């Protein structure tokens, strides 16, 4: 398929700018510093762990790690594995949250001995919703996610209004939601509770308290995206405190540079083809930055009315400075 020649846009890599801020932050904390940043349409994944391992295994480490998290969530199992790795290298973990730390990112934050939150930061509930192959479909013929909280609320409302000899609610619900979806949602909810409890147990020795906090975050909120601010985090029983204002400002400055790096760089070939270049995840420490970049063509198949990816060169990329030169090269993870 012939395409006219165009200059493919590329996102900026602001390594010098981010390193300058990171070194300023390291002078303000009594430990090592690491960033874990996601763009709005990215999420935590299992292969992030390999990047963390690469940055940690060869660095000179202090006893304490300060971890800056900005993420909308992702895999809870990835959060558990990341906490386990960080705890292997550090005796104490402090999480810095100037902005969003939602869903599975909240799980990750729970693995810290201390959570420091800025004025506009928040955690969220961690109840699980899943999109199953047998999920109901919406008006656009897309699969709908189903959560345990939603199913429990339907059952509760039914119990409150039920009439004697009225049929079991599940008979009606099964007309809309496949029984296997019920089982899968219940299983995912149990997994979420176990993961959260296990993460808390890395520093919270009271198992009953860990279980209480886990059940609270998994079942006590009417919305998955309910913002848990510093005040409520303390009320829940989390060890949380206000983030130092100067440190919060530096983290927000760092976020601005990451946001600029993560701007969407779309290059149109024609009305049916374009190239997408976008930095989605960034993990960075002093002197080294590793990011995941989406780098692929998209073609619109008119007969199927959908966009399909082509020539996908998306990959992790590693940036470092050698002999006063900034070098970027592929970092391979399969």
Among candidate residues 53, 10, 19, the one with its CA nearest the CA of residue 326: 19
Judgement on whether residues 327 and 226 belong to the same structural domain of the protein:
yes
What pLDDT sits at residue 140?
A: 67
Cα separation, 113 vs 202, in Å, equals: 9
Cα separation, 34 vs 199, in Å, equals: 19
Judgement on whether residues 121 and 139 belong to the same structural domain of the protein:
no
Cα separation, 235 vs 173, in Å, equals: 36
Judgement on whether residues 261 and 163 belong to the same structural domain of the protein:
no
Q: What is the CATH number of the domain that holds 43?
A: 3.90.226
What pLDDT sits at residue 192?
A: 82
In a domain, 211, yes or no: no
What pLDDT sits at residue 1?
A: 47
In a domain, 86, yes or no: yes
What pLDDT sits at residue 52?
A: 96
Q: Which residues contact 16 (CB under 8 A, 6 or more apart)?
A: 321, 326
Q: Hey, what are 1's tokens?
A: 């398929």
Judgement on whether residues 225 and 77 belong to the same structural domain of the protein:
yes
Judgement on whether residues 121 and 233 belong to the same structural domain of the protein:
yes
Judgement on whether residues 80 and 133 belong to the same structural domain of the protein:
no
What pLDDT sits at residue 181?
A: 73
Q: Residue 180 in contact with residue 118, Cβ under 8 Å? A: no
Domains held by the chain: number: 2
In a domain, 102, yes or no: yes
Residues of the chain with pLDDT under 50: 1
What pLDDT sits at residue 4?
A: 57
Average model confidence (pLDDT) for the chain? 87
Read off the DSSP letter of residue 227: E
Judgement on whether residues 21 and 53 belong to the same structural domain of the protein:
yes
Judgement on whether residues 82 and 227 belong to the same structural domain of the protein:
yes
Cα separation, 76 vs 234, in Å, equals: 22
Supply angle C-alpha 176, 181, 184, rounded to 5.
Answer: 165
Of 138, 166, 187, which marks where a domain is finished? 187
Judgement on whether residues 82 and 167 belong to the same structural domain of the protein:
no
What pLDDT sits at residue 149?
A: 66
Judgement on whether residues 106 and 226 belong to the same structural domain of the protein:
yes
In a domain, 194, yes or no: no
Q: Which residue bears the tokens 């024609």?
A: 270
Cα separation, 194 vs 78, in Å, equals: 14
What pLDDT sits at residue 300?
A: 92
In a domain, 42, yes or no: yes
* Residue numbers of the domain that contains 141: 129-187
Judgement on whether residues 31 and 119 belong to the same structural domain of the protein:
yes
In a domain, 216, yes or no: no
Judgement on whether residues 108 and 227 belong to the same structural domain of the protein:
yes
| CB-count burial class (<10 Å; 0-12, 13-18, 19+) for 254 | buried
Read off the DSSP letter of residue 275: E
């Amino acid at each position: 398929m012939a395409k006219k020649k165009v200059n493919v846009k590329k996102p900026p890599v602001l390594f010098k700018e981010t390193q300058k801020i990171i070194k300023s932050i390291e002078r303000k904390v009594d430990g090592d510093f690491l960033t874990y940043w996601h763009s709005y349409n990215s999420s935590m994944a299992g292969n992030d762990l390999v990047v963390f391992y690469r940055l940690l295994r060869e660095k000179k480490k202090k006893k304490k790690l300060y971890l800056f998290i900005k993420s909308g969530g992702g895999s809870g199992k990835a959060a558990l594995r990341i906490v386990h790795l960080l705890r292997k290298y550090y005796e104490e973990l402090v999480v810095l949250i100037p902005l969003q730390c939602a869903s599975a990112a909240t799980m990750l934050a729970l693995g810290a001995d201390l959570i420091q939150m800025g004025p506009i930061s928040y955690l969220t509930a961690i109840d699980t919703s899943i999109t199953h192959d047998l999920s109901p479909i919406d008006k656009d013929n897309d699969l709908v996610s189903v959560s345990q909280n939603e199913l429990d609320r339907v059952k509760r409302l039914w119990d409150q209004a039920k009439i004697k000899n009225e049929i079991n609610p599940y008979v009606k619900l099964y007309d809309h939601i496949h029984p296997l979806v019920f089982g899968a949602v219940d299983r995912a909810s149990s997994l979420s509770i176990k993961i959260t409890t296990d993460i808390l147990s890395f520093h919270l020795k009271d198992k009953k308290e860990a279980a209480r906090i886990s059940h609270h975050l998994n079942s006590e909120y009417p919305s998955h995206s309910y913002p848990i601010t510093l005040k409520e985090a303390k009320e829940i029983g989390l060890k949380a405190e206000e983030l130092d204002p100067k440190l919060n400002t530096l983290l927000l400055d760092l976020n601005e540079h990451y946001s600029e790096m993560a701007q969407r760089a779309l290059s149109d070939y024609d009305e049916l083809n374009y190239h997408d270049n976008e930095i989605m995840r960034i993990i960075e420490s002093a002197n080294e930055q590793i990011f995941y970049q989406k780098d692929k063509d998209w073609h619109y198949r008119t007969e199927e009315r959908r966009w399909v990816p082509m020539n996908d060169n998306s990959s992790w990329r590693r940036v470092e400075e050698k002999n006063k030169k900034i070098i970027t090269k592929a970092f391979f993870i399969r």
